[in-house]
Structure 1
Amino acid sequence: MQLTVLGQDESNEAAAAESSSCASGSCGSDNDQMSQLPDAIRDKVKNHPCYSEEAHHYFARMHVAVAPACNIQCHYCNRKYDCSNESRPGVVSEVLTPEEAVMKTKAVAANIPQMTVLGIAGPGDPLANPERTFETFRMLSEQAPDIKLCVSTNGLSLPDSVEELAKHNIDHVTITINCVDPAVGAKIYPWIYWNNKRIYGEKAAKILIAQQQKGLEMLVERGILVKVNSVMIPGVNDEHLKEVSRTVKSKGAFLHNVMPLISESEHGTFFGIMGQRGPEPEELQDLQDACSGDMNMMRHCRQCRADAVGLLGEDRGEEFTLDKIAAMDIDYNAAMKTRAVVHAGILEELDEKEAKRSRLAAVSIPSAESAISSSLRPVLMAVATSGGGLINQHFGHATEFLIYEASPKGVRFISHRKVDQYCVGDDACGEKESALAGSIRALSGCEAVLCSKIGYEPWSLLEDAGIVPNGEHAMEPIEEAVLEVYKEMAANGQLDDAAESAPAAERVSA
């Protein structure tokens, strides 16, 4: 689609049509592919925050940690129990019994009515703990039938569990598949535990790969949606993941999530201790784009803890520890009625947004005073948001920024980048300075940052770094605001060939 810079005398409806037709990345992006899905599949994912980029702004999820044991060893994993200081897979504060997990789920669902999904993702492998996993699912199906049930697995025991998964009406399964070549797998997995013995090297990887592929095919045959997670490990499987993506797509996987290796040495993983680096944001984006094609690509993953609670990007687990839950008076039957109203309201809003996009996309846009050339370069912009698909967060309150790419093709979500919160109190000046410097480094490559408010000091330092702060679009929909800023940049000549060759600070200073 050709974007235009509209003259002041042109109709508001035409301007809205242009913004909305590219909103939410609907111009050739992953969300465009999602919109082409059959209605039956769209119904399964429209309120699932991990399977729908649109839904993750509105709906919450939670994980319950009932599966402590694992049947494989990964070089990127170090499971930690009773840990509240790390936010990554395999980490939990409390390992729960199935009964405790059900109690916690009902408490969260009653207090966070937009929570739609309960997943079991560890801290080990759920299917290596089948009794605990399926007892949890059984009780939740009976006591909280309005909650979607999901499971995430390494796939080694998956073929033996498919029938039981189908029996519990589990519509969504995530398989972590990092390779389809045993030689690559041997570099990632030192061993597996299979048929009551430990197996090493390429032989182990070959068994794991075969089980993963068999389980994927069995799930697809039963109409269960499969998301494939892959960890990008530079120099190990980064180029190979293109083949992984082609393979899993050919076997019916619905969504591919290529996520970065978490490689900090303080986490105590083998890769971290050995100095294996994680990918740079640009490397991750390039690989995701290469794997995308006509495959749905997940870009909003937060690599959550095994006991995460709340919207993606937040963790409210500390509000729902077992001792706090014990003090709550939960009437879940009443809560289900409230939840139904909340869910219906959100879905109505999402349906209205989709209908508006479809309606306005058909509006004829008048000739513009100046057109945005299709050859103009794309621009990355960072957004501070607390949810709802709006620019509604102060720069200093952000613990992550969502990264969007604006181009003549429209707006698409690229990734998120975690940061330390800048506003931490007046008594922590040194920490504030360090957090601010870290935030600016994290926004490398971005040319603008959109937020609801921003202080003078970060404003000045961002400009020095060649990043334009923008607080003019507070409480506006993210994609429409990003597109508007891009059009302003085009109108100001910041996207032409001369601007492209100029230093970043010169390109973006208005």
Structure 2
Amino acid sequence: MSAPIISLESLTNTTSSGQLLTTAKSGGCASSSCGSSSSSTDTDPATWEKIKDHPCFSEEAHHYFARMHVAVAPACNIQCNYCNHKYDCANESRPGVVSEKLTPDQALRKVIAVANEVPQLSVLGIAGPGDACYDWNKTRATFERVASKVPDIKLCISTNGLALPEHVDELAEMNISHVTITINMVDPAIGEKIYPWIFYGHRRYTGMDAAKILHERQMLGLEMLSERGILTKINSVMIPGVNDEHLIEVNKWVKERGAFLHNVMPLISDPAHGTHFGLTGQRGPNALELKALQDRLEGGAKLMRHCRQCRADAVGLLGTDRGQEFTLDQIPLEVTYNGGKRHAYREVVARIRDDHLAAKNQAITTLGSLSARGTLQVAVATKGGGRINEHFGHAKEFQIYEASQAGIKFVGHRKVEPYCHGGWGEDANLVGIIAALEGIDIVLCARIGDCPKNKLMEAGIRATEAFGYDYIETAISALYATEYGDDLSQATA
């Protein structure tokens, strides 16, 4: 039975169209890993309270809530072979990239402006563009200002971990309950292939010495955070031929030391970025290689699969970036915080989540009743809200789900160049989309034209708009049941 239609448009009418949650209908899904789609029913209450509106620590939350990064910490104490802070493009989504660096006062002004206009905003993070713990004075000053003026926003940082141990006590005192550490190795012999140098204790170290110090400091910082009950997410960059196999060992180490989530990300390697790996031809993994490694890590530290490798000045839901709407020249010099829109949004989301949870339970029952043993790989075009609410031609990414008798789990996303521009389809972009959807059985979207639908079919990928605006998992559950009833053609007609 369908739930009442609940519109959030009145709450999001100042946001971009890609931010609308549209309407609520009935539906369902099934998955229970914390990093994937944990809910209040499969997580202890204290932890759920911490992650329920944090889009990076809960896959379920990322459908509803947005993050914001402020670029106040440009100084860095290590050099990574995959990083170059000098490169910037407004359309480039990559850690370390920013369009403008901010002072703590400018950051506060920007946070208030975004909080007033983006009701989904729940988290403020400092992720550089250098290192938040090394450039600590600016990080602390920013958090102090924001906490005093916008007290209902979560605060978190991302760090390479080298300077982390000396600031753990301050993090705890400031109620920063979420920390991300980038850990790419636990074997210094592998670390020296990734890090040319570090700067520690007023000295520059290189080679094995640098990697040993970095490893020891990262493990110490992780242990200290765990002892204080601060949730920790570990980011690891998958570098084929360098640390890909080694990340299995990294996963074991961080789990033993209390990490809440492990996020394995693909190396972004493009000569245009000017990084060492990009200039020397080190390739990144393809989507199937990344998924294969993530699958091997199941059973270890809980995995995060919904990461978008955000810029250090990103704003909005994961998968979108509205940072260019909030550059300093577009923000009034005097801004006053008004949390009314954000508070109203949260009340509506709470009701929608209850409906979604009921639908998830129904899906678990449906899939569990089947005797099939196959899997279905599904790509979804969505704007957010956990619904199939994006036109195929407008999608900048597809969220990937895997369905089996055991349930439905989110397994990643694949970025694409949108097919439609100015009302016309770009054939070259469609070729790229089809390549990006390798291994996918079916695409779900709100609308799709006959031309792209037929081209997808020629490539062995089915597409349908029959489930437009349903919950993603409701549609997948129905498709899976129909697929193994040998009658998918009726559902996709």
TM-score (normalised: structure 1): 0.87
Aligned to 1:118: 124
Measure the CA separation in 2 of the matches of 1:361 and 1:287.
27
Aligned to 1:423: 420
Q: Is the counterpart of residue 54 in structure 1 residue 35 in structure 2? A: no
Tell me if the contact between 2:188 and 2:215 (Cα under 8 Å) persists in the aligned partners.
Answer: yes
Distance verdict in 2 for CA 1:34–1:181, change over 3 Å:
farther
Superposition pairs of residues 6-85 of structure 1, within 5 angstroms? 23-26=29-32, 30-31=36-37, 35-80=41-86, 83-85=89-91
Aligned to 2:294: 288
Tell me if the contact between 1:46 and 1:55 (Cα under 8 Å) persists in the aligned partners.
Answer: yes
Deviation at 1:85, TM superposition (A): 3.4
Q: Deviations 1:89-148 (Å, cap 9, x if unpaired)?
A: 010000000000010011001000110000000111111101100000011111110010
Structure 1: where are the runs of 5+ without partners?
1-10, 14-19, 495-505
Deviation at 1:330, TM superposition (A): 3.8
Aligned to 2:352: 349
Distance verdict in 2 for CA 1:60–1:12, change over 3 Å:
closer
Aligned to 2:278: 272
Measure the CA separation in 1 of the matches of 2:420 and 2:477.
28
Code of the residue aligned with 1:388 in structure 2: it is G
Superposition pairs of residues 227-266 of structure 1, within 5 angstroms? 227-266=233-272
Task: State how many pairs are aligned.
Answer: 470
Tell me if the contact between 1:28 and 1:409 (Cα under 8 Å) persists in the aligned partners.
Answer: no
Code of the residue aligned with 1:477 in structure 2: it is Y
Measure the CA separation in 2 of the matches of 1:87 and 1:132.
24
Deviation at 1:361, TM superposition (A): 7.7
For residue 390 of structure 2, give the secondary structure of its aligned residue in structure 1. Answer: coil
Q: Is the counterpart of residue 445 in structure 1 residue 439 in structure 2? A: yes
Match of 1:164 among 165, 170, 185: 170
Measure the CA separation in 2 of the matches of 1:125 and 1:232.
20
Aligned to 1:331: 336
Q: Is the counterpart of residue 136 in structure 1 residue 142 in structure 2? A: yes
Aligned to 2:472: 478
Deviation at 1:149, TM superposition (A): 0.2
For residue 400 of structure 2, give the secondary structure of its aligned residue in structure 1. Answer: strand
Distance verdict in 2 for CA 1:355–1:483, change over 3 Å:
closer
Tell me if the contact between 2:87 and 2:274 (Cα under 8 Å) persists in the aligned partners.
Answer: no
Deviation at 1:24, TM superposition (A): 4.4
Distance verdict in 2 for CA 1:408–1:261, change over 3 Å:
same
Q: Is the counterpart of residue 492 in structure 1 residue 486 in structure 2? A: yes
Match of 1:389 among 386, 392, 404: 386
Tell me if the contact between 2:67 and 2:123 (Cα under 8 Å) persists in the aligned partners.
Answer: yes
Match of 1:209 among 207, 215, 218: 215
Q: Is the counterpart of residue 102 in structure 1 residue 99 in structure 2? A: no
Deviation at 1:356, TM superposition (A): 5.5
Distance verdict in 2 for CA 1:493–1:452, change over 3 Å:
closer
Structure 2: where are the runs of 5+ without partners?
4-25
Q: Deviations 1:6-29 (Å, cap 9, x if unpaired)?
A: xxxxx999xxxxxx9971424999
Deviation at 1:374, TM superposition (A): 4.0
TM-score (normalised: structure 2): 0.90
Deviation at 1:392, TM superposition (A): 0.4
Is the helix fraction higher in 1 or 2?
A: 1
Measure the CA separation in 1 of the matches of 2:238 and 2:87.
25
For residue 107 of structure 1, give the secondary structure of its aligned residue in structure 2. Answer: helix
Measure the CA separation in 2 of the matches of 1:273 and 1:175.
26
Measure the CA separation in 2 of the matches of 1:120 and 1:417.
25
Q: Deviations 1:289-325 (Å, cap 9, x if unpaired)?
A: 2212153210000000000000000010111010101
Distance verdict in 2 for CA 1:509–1:138, change over 3 Å:
closer
RMSD: 2.6
Code of the residue aligned with 2:257 in structure 1: it is K
Measure the CA separation in 1 of the matches of 2:349 and 2:465.
26
Q: Is the counterpart of residue 466 in structure 1 residue 460 in structure 2? A: yes
For residue 339 of structure 2, give the secondary structure of its aligned residue in structure 1. Answer: helix
Q: Is the counterpart of residue 407 in structure 1 residue 407 in structure 2? A: no
Point out the more displaced range, 172-181 or 288-297: 288-297
Measure the CA separation in 2 of the matches of 1:193 and 1:142.
33
Distance verdict in 2 for CA 1:509–1:320, change over 3 Å:
closer
Measure the CA separation in 1 of the matches of 2:240 and 2:364.
44
Tell me if the contact between 1:466 and 1:509 (Cα under 8 Å) persists in the aligned partners.
Answer: no
Distance verdict in 2 for CA 1:141–1:32, change over 3 Å:
closer
Point out the more displaced range, 154-163 or 193-202: 193-202
Code of the residue aligned with 2:109 in structure 1: it is M
Q: Deviations 1:68-98 (Å, cap 9, x if unpaired)?
A: 1110010111113654232100100000000
Measure the CA separation in 2 of the matches of 1:93 and 1:127.
21
Match of 2:429 among 432, 435, 438: 435
Distance verdict in 2 for CA 1:35–1:289, change over 3 Å:
farther
Measure the CA separation in 1 of the matches of 2:171 and 2:236.
22
Superposition pairs of residues 298-337 of structure 1, within 5 angstroms? 298-326=304-332, 330-332=335-337, 335-337=338-340
Tell me if the contact between 1:155 and 1:215 (Cα under 8 Å) persists in the aligned partners.
Answer: yes
Match of 2:200 among 194, 204, 214: 194
Distance verdict in 2 for CA 1:486–1:362, change over 3 Å:
closer
Measure the CA separation in 1 of the matches of 2:292 and 2:138.
40
Tell me if the contact between 1:33 and 1:296 (Cα under 8 Å) persists in the aligned partners.
Answer: no
Distance verdict in 2 for CA 1:33–1:348, change over 3 Å:
closer
Code of the residue aligned with 1:241 in structure 2: it is L
Deviation at 1:54, TM superposition (A): 0.5
Larger radius of gyration: 1
Distance verdict in 2 for CA 1:34–1:248, change over 3 Å:
farther
Distance verdict in 2 for CA 1:469–1:353, change over 3 Å:
closer
Point out the more displaced range, 188-197 or 393-402: 188-197
Tell me if the contact between 2:233 and 2:262 (Cα under 8 Å) persists in the aligned partners.
Answer: yes
Distance verdict in 2 for CA 1:34–1:192, change over 3 Å:
farther
Measure the CA separation in 2 of the matches of 1:24 and 1:214.
36
For residue 331 of structure 2, give the secondary structure of its aligned residue in structure 1. Answer: helix
Measure the CA separation in 2 of the matches of 1:168 and 1:355.
37
Measure the CA separation in 2 of the matches of 1:268 and 1:87.
15
Code of the residue aligned with 1:25 in structure 2: it is S
